[in-house]
Each structure stands twice: as C-alpha cells, then as structure tokens.
Amino acid sequence: MNSVMKMNSFTGVGYGEKATLTVPTGPTYEEIFLETNLTPEQLKRVSVTLNGDEIIVLDGKLMKALEAYKGMPSSPGFYHIPLADISAKTKNGMRYSALVTEQGDNIILEVEIASSSDDNAPGIMLKGHASVSPEQPMRVVVPQIKRQTMQASSTENEFLNLVSGPYILVRRMFFLSEKVNALEIHNDYIKVYDTTKTVEMMRAKRNKKYWPSDMYVFDPIMRGYFIDELFRTEHINELKFTVKTDEPGEAIPIIVESVKIVRPEVFEAAQAAKA
C-alpha cells in the first residue's frame, strides 16, 4: 500500500542557510514533497545524499520545470523531488526508480536557501512529506538526477562525457538552452538517435508531455514504458551526443535523470526470468 508520511523537521532553516533533514530508513521512497512559502528562486539547491553520494541535485525552478514537462499540475507552495516517476504506464514501471532504503543507510536531504536583503522578509516555513511504499528486501537500483555541463562554442557540438557504464540507464536528459534544435547520438559509431526539436515536440505532445520553451529534452521513456525503454549507456569505444544549436554560445548545463543498478546479479536474474 502506498501512503504519505510527514518527515522529520529541518534544522538550520534561515535565509542564506542550508536546511538539513535526516531521512528515516525502512520504507521505499517514491516522492518527496517540500511544503514551503519560499519561491523557486529562493530554493537555490536541493539535494539528497545516500551514504555520502549525492544522488539528487535540483533547485526550485528545475523542480517546477520537470513536473511541468510531465504534465503534472503545479500546486502553490509545494515542490516535488521525483524518485519513482508516477507518470509511468505500469505500477512496476512507476516503482522501478523508487529509493529503497536499507538498514544502516545515511540519507540526508539538504535545502540551500537564498539570502534576503529584506529586513522584513517573512519567517520561513519549510516542511517535508514523502509518498512511501513498504520496505523491500534489498536495493537493486538507485534513482539519480545529476547535473553535467557541455561546451557549445559551435553550432554542432560534441558531448562525450556523460557518466555512463553497463549499469547506468538514462531516463531523460534536459539540455538547458533554448538554442538547441537537433540531437544525434552515436554508440560505438552506430547512430542510435537522430531527430530535431520540431519532431520531438510533436512526439512529446502526442504522449502528453509539455516541452519547456528554454530546453531540449531527450526522453527515451516518453511513451511511458519505464523499464523496457530506458537508454543504455554501455559502450566499448565511444558514446557521443552531437548537439546542434542555432548559434554558438556558452556552455549548456544538462540535467540527467538516470537509474544506477547497484546489484547487477539481481537485476540480470530478473531480466532473464522476464525473457
């Protein structure tokens, strides 16, 4: 059964401060909600750290943008940290990237709050809530949302530095620039993806997704099949993203949503059984 729980209180809440909350272990976390009177701009950085590894890095504006892309209605005063993706077509797909906790885990949620020069700024209200499901025997995958950066000094730019490997599968990539107009992907010199912004916006609309005007979205799970259609990053020689832009510009930040398989033997056995 899925349920909702109020999380522990934040410590260190204040303008220009970093508020911290220890996430209890036991349940499986599908989503975390922040309830606050802060604006998206005031939520400078929101992170979830699992045993010393930052697995989620976002900010207020990005949390709103990611939800808007999925067609999720925005509720004033709430910000969503997506672990499991509730827009999946199947329950297994939705839970595939939930954060399973294990005994002894150290999980920290941190919120960096912008400074304020207004002496009469209102007191900060900041609470955490979580959508959870029952505990599971072990963690097989870890959800990740991380930021990388690529150079864009030409109208055709190559990005070769995606964090990749046999057990890293991409859910989505958001190229944070309105100038990106097309994308090609080569895996070991074989072209596996080649399309334009116009085509992808059409496909997104057909699948009830809503492109932000200032991004290019690579979404291999657009159709909602969140297990079978994840983008595999495994390669032998080279995984190359050719990003085409309207004009040369500055570096392009990239938000990468992925899952990392941490127990390959369990994952592969499940895949073999399904086949």
Give pLDDT tens digits for 62-105.
Answer: 999 999 999 998 999 999 999 998 877 677 777 778 999 999 99
Residues 152 and 266 in one domain: yes
Choose the final residue of a domain: 137, 167, 202. Answer: 137
**Same domain? 100 vs 158:** no
Residue 56's Cβ-count burial label (10 Å; 0-12, 13-18, 19+) is buried
Domain end marker among 80, 114, 137: 137
Residues 256 and 158 in one domain: yes
Whether 128 and 162 share a structural domain: no
Terminal Cα distance for the chain, rounded: 28
Last residue of a domain, one of 137, 157, 189: 137
pTM, full prediction: 0.92
**Are 119 and 158 within one domain?**
no
Q: What is the pLDDT of residue 227?
A: 83
Residue 265's CATH number: 2.60.120.730
Residue span of the structural domain in which 229 resides = 144-274
- Pairing verdict, β 99-100 and 3-6: unpaired
Together in a domain, 114 and 18: yes
- For the beta carbon of residue 149, count every other beta carbon within 10 angstroms: 13
Which candidate, 53, 3, 55, 63, places its Cα nearest to that of 28?
3
Residue 273's pLDDT band, with cuts at 50, 70 and 90, is: low
- Counting the structural domains of the chain, the total is 2
- Same domain assignment for residues 129 and 197: no
pLDDT of residue 270: 64
Query: Is the per-residue pLDDT at 275 higher than 70?
Result: no
